[in-house]
Amino acid sequence: MPEHDHPGVAGWLDGVNLSALAAREGTPLYVYSAPMIRRRIRSLRSALDGLDAGIRYAVKANGNIAVLQLLAAEGAGADIVSGGEMHRALRAGIPARDIVFSGVGKSDAEIDAALAAGIARFNVESVAELDAIQRTAAGRGVVATASIRINPDVDARTHAKISTGKAENKFGVSIDEARRCFSTGPQWPNVRLDGLHMHIGSQLLSLEPVRQALARIAALWRELEASGHPIACIDVGGGLGVRYREGERAPAADDYVAVIRDALGDFSGRILLEPGRWLMAEAGLLLTRVILEKRGTARRFLVVDAAMNDLLRPSLYDAWHDIVRVGDDGTREKVTYDVVGPVCETGDTFAVGRELPRCVAGDLVAILAAGAYGASMASTYNSRPLPAEVLVDDGRYAVVRRRQAFEEMIAGEQPASDWRDA
């Protein structure tokens, strides 16, 4: 699909006919290519060859249990940011020893559950969090292993909402504060602080900021070791960008890993990577059916049956996703559309002024590169049930999340009849 076996051209994905699939399973429908996911993770692993490095897939990108199982079968562990993600990862069979826990606001209950499960490592983002882990670990009589997340203060040159490595962002601690944490380490006897972590942002299309940030981390690691603080693990985070738009250039795995090798080639501990988007985005698409074409006074709208609740990225980040008409034979005239969903907000727009083959009601359209931060960010806004998800592999498909039923959507809600005091 990515390197231009566009489903729009042939209407097939890994031997599965997308029109037949949509007819059977309905739309909107997320479709993930198992071969593509495997190719991605294998190419990253082969780029890492010779390094003592592990992949800790960022579950937030797409936490579907089947996806986690597929990635785990290829040797990935998990980077989690909530108790819910830990639940998914463990349920998918990812061993706790392959799970790292990131995030700026871990609750005591989440820390406790992670300690109980025996996860490998906490990526700690503040002194207050070190205090909380100390308290909880002491309560359990265990020693937690932790890395400190460095905020290297570099501009990742990505969308402001997904940029995380500048001093003004809420993430991590400054290099100075990290130094202080290591030197006052004995203050947290139930925390083994022996790692460094960073994650400067997502959808990075330039490797320069990664190089800069890694240089700072590497300098800190050397300095810490020289002052008697052995570093067992450096986690370089995620962030590697993908191609959302035909013609856009995203870094190759080899080039990305070369930057890691340059900075950490002589590091003798373990290197961890937390890719999310790069493994999943281009391996997925969102199939949606045209409900109607509408000619406004100023624009021509293509109203499809997927909406911002199914795929939020265009609304939230003005993100571009290529859109194709599935099975298009190239004979239809080209029309400039605003591609929109049925939700009652102007922001419910997938594309503005997009040239597409003329579409009519019932046509099938694919929104590409939707495998990451698509289904995982879906909601039921406008009381639209969560979409179904399927995994395709070698001419077959499996439903890996069934379409939510109305009753499932409202499960848990109840009339205000059981009044209590508090």
Q: Which is nearer to ligand LLP, 28 or 276 (CB)?
A: 276
Residue 54 CA to its chain's centroid (Å): 17
Whether residue 181 lies in the annotated active site = no
Q: Which is nearer to ligand LLP, 11 or 275 (CB)?
A: 275
In contact, 279 and 57? CB cutoff 8 Å = yes
Segments of 264-375 assigned E as strands:
270-273, 284-295, 300-304, 323-325, 334-340, 349-357, 364-367
What's the token pair of residue 369?
A: 């590169």
Q: Which residues bind ligand LLP (CB under 6 A)?
A: 58, 60-61, 79, 102, 162, 199, 202-203, 237-240, 274-278, 313, 317, 373
Among the options 181, 233, 344, 359, which is catalytic? 344
CB of 51 to ligand LLP, least distance (A): 18
CB of 416 to ligand LLP, least distance (A): 35
Strands 12-13, 16-17: pairing is antiparallel
What's the token pair of residue 24?
A: 């059977």
CA 258 – CA 175 distance, rounded (Å): 24
In contact, 7 and 324? CB cutoff 8 Å = yes
Name the residue among 187, 173, 185 with its Cα closest to residue 220: 173
Amino acid identity for residue 217 in this structure = I
Q: Which residues does residue 124 pair with via DSSP β-bridges, in sequence order?
A: 148
CB of 256 to ligand LLP, least distance (A): 11
CB of 243 to ligand LLP, least distance (A): 14
Q: Which is nearer to ligand LLP, 117 or 316 (CB)?
A: 316
Name the residue among 109, 60, 73, 80 with its Cα closest to residue 235: 80
In contact, 119 and 166? CB cutoff 8 Å = no
Q: Which is nearer to ligand LLP, 121 or 289 (CB)?
A: 121
CB of 67 to ligand LLP, least distance (A): 13
Q: Which is nearer to ligand LLP, 124 or 326 (CB)?
A: 124
Between CA 361 and CA 368, with CA 363 as vertex, the angle to 5 degrees is 130
Which residues are marked as active site? 344
